[in-house]
Amino acid sequence: MRIALINGSPKVKRSASENILTALKKLFAESDTVLEFKLRTPTLSSRKIEEISKCNVLVFAFPLYVDEIPSHLINCLYQIETYLKANADKDITVYALVNCGFFEGRQNSTALEMMENWCKKAGVSWGQGIGIGGGGMLSGMTNVPDGQGPMKCMWNALNVVANNIKNCTSSENIYVSPSFPRFVYKLGGNAGWRKQIQANGLSRKDLFIKK
């Protein structure tokens, strides 16, 4: 089995999508061929499109942008779709792991629906999606042991998806949120914004400027 792990975050480093794919990768057997791709810009080379299309399973991990798929990734999907339609013999199953800044994993439901619709257009099978809330925390959690901590629910969901991937089976989407109170996440998020604005030479009150 050839599995493509496709990171659709435009971030060069410290992306939550990368952490999610790193966790998923550990759940595959050594006999599986796992290929990793980063789609950070709107244009894909023909070579990359061909390499992706040679895989039996495509796993897209990406951030939610304005309740949707990031625009650069939509462009990439369109290019892959065009290639797949011209090479209609492809037997491919697609899975999507979407993370967002909001606490609730359900926020990602529209983006997952868009991915499912894309599968229909591209003539490939839809496998399953995970909608992950609390993505803002994920890049800072690289030292938390697998299967533990506030994102344990995500780990459990990844195990379910990994099993479905191994069998190329489809299942209902799963939505996960951090396993601690929402207000604690909000406090942490606000502290993060204050830290960032100060690091950029502005003050806390500048956070409230309206244009």
Neighbour count for residue 35 (Cβ, 10 Å): 13
Site string for ligand FMN, 124-153 (x = CB under 6 A): -----------xx--x--------------
Rounded Cα distance between 91 and 55, Å, is 9
Pick between residue 129 and residue 135 the one whose CB is nearest to ligand FMN.
135
Q: Is 177 one of the binding residues for ligand FMN (CB under 6 A)?
A: no
Q: Is 92 one of the binding residues for ligand FMN (CB under 6 A)?
A: no
C-alpha dihedral sign at 166, 169, 170, 176: negative
Q: Is 63 one of the binding residues for ligand FMN (CB under 6 A)?
A: yes
Pick between residue 23 and residue 84 the one whose CB is nearest to ligand FMN.
23
Given 37, 60, 95, 102, the residue binding ligand FMN (CB under 6 A): 102
Rounded Cα distance between 39 and 57, Å, is 16
Pick between residue 102 and residue 175 the one whose CB is nearest to ligand FMN.
102
Of 47-55, 82-90, 93-101, 154-162, which segment contacts ligand FMN by CB under 6 A? Answer: 93-101
Pick between residue 171 and residue 184 the one whose CB is nearest to ligand FMN.
184
- 73 Cβ contact list (under 8 Å, min separation 6): 8, 39, 60, 62
Best CA proximity match to 58, nearest among 66, 49, 69: 49
Q: Is 66 one of the binding residues for ligand FMN (CB under 6 A)?
A: yes
Rounded Cα distance between 25 and 19, Å, is 10
Q: Which of residues 107-126 bind ligand FMN (CB under 6 A)?
A: 107
What's 72-96 look like in SS3?
Answer: HHHHHHHHHHHHHHHCCCCCCEEEE
Contact status, residue 49 vs residue 78, Cβ threshold 8 Å: no
Of 35-43, 75-83, 95-103, 187-195, which segment contacts ligand FMN by CB under 6 A? Answer: 95-103
Query: Which amino acid is located at 79 in the chain?
Result: Q
What is the contact surface with ligand FMN in residues (CB under 6 A)? 9, 11, 15-17, 63-67, 99-102, 107, 135-136, 139
